[in-house]
Each structure stands twice: as structure tokens, then as C-alpha cells.
Structure 1
Amino acid sequence: MTDNNSSQLLPALQGLIDVVAKLRDPDGGCPWDLAQTPQSLTPYIVEEAYEAVHAIRSGDRDAIVSELGDLLLQVVLQSQIASEAGQFTIEDVARGISEKLIRRHPHVFGDVTVDGVEDVRANWEEIKAIEKGQKTELLSDKLSSYAEKLPPLTAAMKISKRAAAMGFEWENVEGVWGKFDEELAEFKEALATPDIAHQETELGDLLFTVVNLARWFELDPERGLSGTNQRFIDRIQQMECYIDKPLTEYSIGELETLWQQAKQRLKAGG
């Protein structure tokens, strides 16, 4: 970073901090911001994170800047509220993550030698376990952390990867396909019963196996499902562009025809 960039960066960050402090000022601040608590703001952290990911995937420079700004606002706002309560400040947050990065990258900031990404990952996990007072972090603790803190699909992939790295793995992909067939059959059997809890259990088992298949083929299930969601929306949008009455007034046969036409138009470029 050049000195010029540094001279512009710090005032910009301080400006954001000052704006948030003003919004939270009991004397003339914003009633909405003043009414917020760390707990009431947590849904916005998740929402802004997803919107930032969407912008990054789109490649839209302006959208990325805007959404990262919204995400940064949540960090500053949480820190401001904590500062008002005498808990911690934005400086504590920044200092803490800087110190953590330095500790966990001894190959950059120390004299440790690594041979590729896997060594870096192994060092990171070992240092992390030491920080938590454990010689080695228990696998169950790590998997529980994923399940508690991440969206289910993301957690499933991380749980699958970590368990496989510890030896909980099929010998070949045919074993995964066999498990898929087994779980699909059990799901179908569950659907023939009135037990909703059992049906959801078997559905979960089936979805977890699909995630394992994605891992074996080095696919991203989040990106795959996101793409499917968007294609479904695009096709509905195409259908709505060529109809003269609500979709609910078409028969299922007519809807299927419209659907196939929409697919072809999109495939041909809209």
C-alpha cells in the first residue's frame, strides 16, 4: 500500500466510524439505530454477507463495493454498541484479528517453513487448538462448531470434508453412489408413513449424501443450488413476458408448454 492510499484509507474508515457514532447519539441520532441491539442486528449480518457473496459472484464492481460496505457497516455498528456498553471497541476488533493473523501465519511472520496449502491449513488448525487450550481439538467439537454456526448446506460440506480427512471416508466413489441409492430408498419408504419427523430425518440423510457426492466430484453445492434457483426464476420471468393472463389461469399442460418455450428462449440467448 502506498502512502497516498494510506492517507485516504484511514480518514475514510474514521469517517464511517464517526457516522455510526452520530447515528447512535442519544442527542439527535436516528431512532431506528438507537433502538438496535447486538441481537436485533444479527439477521442483518447474515443478510449482508449473502448479498456480498452474490455481488462477488456477479463480478459487478459497483455492487461488490456497495455490498462490502453494507457488511462493514455491521461490524462498525456492533462495535459501536459494544463500546457504548464498555465491552470492546472497533480498535479491539481490528487489533484482535491482526494479532490472530500474525499468530496463525508463522511461515509469513516467523521462521516456520511450509510446503504448500495443506501445511498452512495444518499449522492453522494446530495453532487454533493451542489457543483454545487443547493439544488437539476434538473432531466432535469442530463438527459441532460447523453445525451451530453455519447454514446447513455449508455446514454439511465442511463436516463431510473434515470427517473424511480424519478417515471417515468411502474407499471409492461407487461406495458413495451405493449410499445415495440406500438413502433414496429409505426416504421413499419414510414418505409412505405418516411420521413427518421420520420423513425429515431421511430427507436430511439423503441431502447429506448428495453433499458427499459433490465433495467427491469437487463441486460446490451452494453454487449449484444458487444457479438452479436463478434459472428457475429466469424461466418464470420468461414465461411472464409472453402471457396475457395470470399463471394461475393456465392448465398444467399449458404451463409445461410455456416452461419449455422459456427454456428454449433462454438457451438461444433470451
Structure 2
Amino acid sequence: MPGEKQINLPATERLLSIMAQLRDPKLGCPWDVKQTMKSLTRYTIEETYEVVDAIENKGLSEVKEELGDLLFQIVFYARIAQEQQHFSFDDVADAISRKLIRRHPHVFAAPSGQENNLSSEALAKQWEAIKQQENAHKNNSQESVLDRVPNNMPALMHAQKLQKACAKVGFDWPHVLPVLDKVQEEVQEVREELEAKTVNQQALEEEIGDALFAMVNLARHCNVDADTALRNASNKFAARFKHVETLAQKQNRPLADMPLSDMEALWQKVKAKEKGNC
């Protein structure tokens, strides 16, 4: 019976055993066997977003399933590394365990029974001090505070990480209002580019990028995660648009045949209903 030899194993050991069988050069799955760490990255990103979607829009059973899919990605990477004699899944688990203990001295190094009452600011300073100590012990030749920011992050997250890294060394606005002024300045530059006699598409893209970057900075100063804020705004837009479609269907009017003014009226009706004004 398929998988019979793994059925009585503890859950984690069973998963690792299944992964090893999938990667067996002769008896495993051809697709799994040919994968590399690089080829897996796209699937890891997809699985991460599916976890987020399940948490935001689905039930806990779906969250459990998606977390399993994401865990499988980690097990996959560890198996490939083990085959190349670099590290194993146990090494990965041990490394993160050591890091968590090292970065939480207020929990693991505190006297027994002592309550942890450090402020958020104190915790953040302690966290950064420990990370700096860790980096000082690493044998690397980094020349920039930005070298540890991955370039292949989603754009909004990448922008926020860059800004946060610079802020740690003091390159940051001291208050939020100048950041808002910067947003308005960048939006005005977009307008000026659009109002030019001949629109330079490359310049327009650059100005819109600057405006987006400034908005991410504003979100960071307001303690708002830019990616989450945009995701919520997109979900809100999608929900409203579906209601507009429903209203149009009730009128037996395809949206494609409806003038924009009528669609806008339906949109405002949906917004008013959300606010309880009708």
C-alpha cells in the first residue's frame, strides 16, 4: 500500500520520510527529483500568498492546509541541501531555535518567574542590538546597510524594507507631516508630467514610482504596513464592484453597455449602503 511504511511515524518524521521517497532518483516522482532550490522559489512565493489569502478570507481548515503546503516547501529545500551534504531539516530547526532564544533574553534569560514588562521601544532597541552583534560576528564584506535587503521581494515590501534600513542609521524624516508634504510634492510632479505638451512615458513612470515610494514611506511613518493596506483596499474595491455588478444585473443592464455616469451612480449607492445611509 502506498506510504504504508510512513503511516505510523510521528508527523514530522513522516513528512521527512515522504519527502525523501519523492526525491529518490529511481523510485521517486520525476517532477520532485528534477527540482532545485532555484526552481522552487516561485512556488514558495505562491504558497506564501495562499497562506495570507486563507488567513484573510477563509476558514481555519484552509489555513491549516495552506500552512502544510508552505511547510512542505521548507522540507523540500532542506532535503535538497541534505542531499548536497550542506544541512538538514534538523539543522534548520536548530538554527531558528537558537536564534529565537538568543534574540529573546527577556524571556529565556530572565530569572524564573520574573514578569517581562519591557516596553515596545525597549524591545525594538534590544532586538536591533542583538542583530548588530550577530552581524558583527559574520564573516562578510558588506559595505551598505542595504545589502541585507533582498532585491526579489514584492515591490511594496522591498520599498518599506529599504526605508526601514535607512531609518535605523538616522536617514529618515523626524515627523510624519514632512512625509505627507513629500507625497504631495511627488503627486504634483506626476501632474506636471501629464500636463506637458508631450508626455514622456519613461519620465511619467519614474514620477509615479517616486509617488508610490513616498506613499510607502507615509504608511511606514503611520505604523501601517503598505502591502496590507493596499491588499485591504483592493479587497474593498473588489467587493464594491461585485455589488455594482449585482445592481446592474437587477436592472437587466450589462455594465459594458452602461455609461460611466450610471456606473458611478451605482458605485455611490453601494458606498452609501455600506455607511448605512440608505
Quickly name the TM-score band, shorter chain normalised.
0.7 to 0.9
List aligned pairs for 1:1-270, cutoff 5 A. 11-58=10-57, 60-110=59-109, 115-133=118-136, 141-146=144-149, 148-191=151-194, 192=196, 193-242=198-247, 243=249, 244=252, 247-264=255-272
Any conservation in 2 of the 1:184–1:206 contact (CA below 8 Å)?
Answer: yes
What's the TM-score, normalizing by structure 1?
0.80
Partner AA of 1:81 in structure 2: I
Any conservation in 2 of the 1:143–1:159 contact (CA below 8 Å)?
Answer: yes
Structure 1 Cα separation of the partners of residues 176 and 82 of structure 2: 52
Deviation at 1:159, TM superposition (A): 3.1
Q: State the SS of the aligned residue for 2:218.
A: helix
Any conservation in 2 of the 1:79–1:89 contact (CA below 8 Å)?
Answer: yes
Deviation at 1:180, TM superposition (A): 1.9
Structure 2 Cα separation of the partners of residues 91 and 259 of structure 1: 54
Structure with the larger helix share: 1
Change in 2 beyond 3 A, CA 1:256/1:189: same
Deviation at 1:247, TM superposition (A): 3.6
Q: State the SS of the aligned residue for 1:141.
A: coil
Structure 1 Cα separation of the partners of residues 125 and 148 of structure 2: 18
Q: How many aligned residue pairs are there?
A: 259
Structure 2 Cα separation of the partners of residues 216 and 138 of structure 1: 31
Structure 2 Cα separation of the partners of residues 55 and 139 of structure 1: 38
Q: Deviations over 1:184-241 (max 9, x none)?
A: 1112223335433322222122112212222333333222211111122223323333
Structure 1 Cα separation of the partners of residues 105 and 79 of structure 2: 32
Partner AA of 1:76 in structure 2: V
Structure 1 Cα separation of the partners of residues 274 and 64 of structure 2: 29
Structure 2 Cα separation of the partners of residues 203 and 140 of structure 1: 30
Partner AA of 1:158 in structure 2: K
Q: Deviations over 1:126-179 (max 9, x none)?
A: 3333333369x9997333433525322123223334434433333443322322
Q: State the SS of the aligned residue for 1:70.
A: helix
Change in 2 beyond 3 A, CA 1:263/1:28: farther
Structure 1 Cα separation of the partners of residues 125 and 143 of structure 2: 17
Deviation at 1:13, TM superposition (A): 0.9
Q: State the SS of the aligned residue for 1:133.
A: helix
The corresponding residue for 1:6 is: none
What 5-or-longer segments of structure 2 have no aligned partner?
Answer: 1-8
Any conservation in 2 of the 1:114–1:120 contact (CA below 8 Å)?
Answer: no
Any conservation in 1 of the 2:145–2:166 contact (CA below 8 Å)?
Answer: no
Q: State the SS of the aligned residue for 2:149.
A: helix
What's the TM-score, normalizing by structure 2?
0.78
Structure 1 Cα separation of the partners of residues 154 and 40 of structure 2: 17
Any conservation in 2 of the 1:23–1:30 contact (CA below 8 Å)?
Answer: yes
CA RMSD of superposed structures (Å)? 3.2
The corresponding residue for 1:4 is: none
